[in-house]
């Protein structure tokens, strides 16, 4: 699985609307056959920061994502709402495992 996390610093005047602004891109990505998840979270400490967790089944799914029409549209549209270039971590992993230190009995 390809696991990606990215931090987005949204311009303050657009931070509350970010879910709607990024909505078409989010919906289209979630509909991709190789997409496992595409989940946004908002920072509790900084209301202008959003974190995106993405999972793709394999390299082919990752390539399909970054070459899709909706990805190209996001590249054209979304930077206008950002304070700076997003930061990203992109790795291949086996998948989710349990957090044993907080095991639920």
What's the whole-model pTM score? 0.92
Q: Using one digit for the tens of pLDDT, what is the confidence trace for 26-68?
A: 999 999 999 999 999 999 999 999 999 999 999 999 999 999 9
Do residues 61 and 2 make contact, with C-beta atoms less than 8 angstroms apart?
yes
Do residues 3 and 96 make contact, with C-beta atoms less than 8 angstroms apart?
no
Domains of the chain in sequence order: 2-95 (3.30.70.100)
Q: Using one digit for the tens of pLDDT, what is the confidence trace for 1-21?
A: 999 999 999 999 999 999 999
* 54: nearest Cα among 43, 46, 44, 66: 66
* 54: nearest Cα among 84, 74, 80: 74
């Amino acid at each position: 699985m390809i696991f990606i996390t990215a931090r987005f610093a949204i311009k303050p005047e657009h931070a509350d609307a970010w879910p709607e602004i990024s909505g078409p891109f989010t919906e289209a990505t979630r509909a991709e056959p190789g997409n496992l998840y595409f989940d946004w979270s908002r920072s509790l400490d900084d209301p202008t920061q959003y974190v995106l967790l993405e999972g793709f089944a394999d390299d082919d799914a990752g390539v399909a994502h970054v070459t899709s029409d909706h990805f190209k549209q996001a590249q054209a549209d979304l930077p206008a709402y950002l304070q700076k270039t997003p930061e990203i971590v992109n790795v291949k992993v086996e998948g989710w495992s349990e957090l044993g230190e907080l095991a639920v009995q």
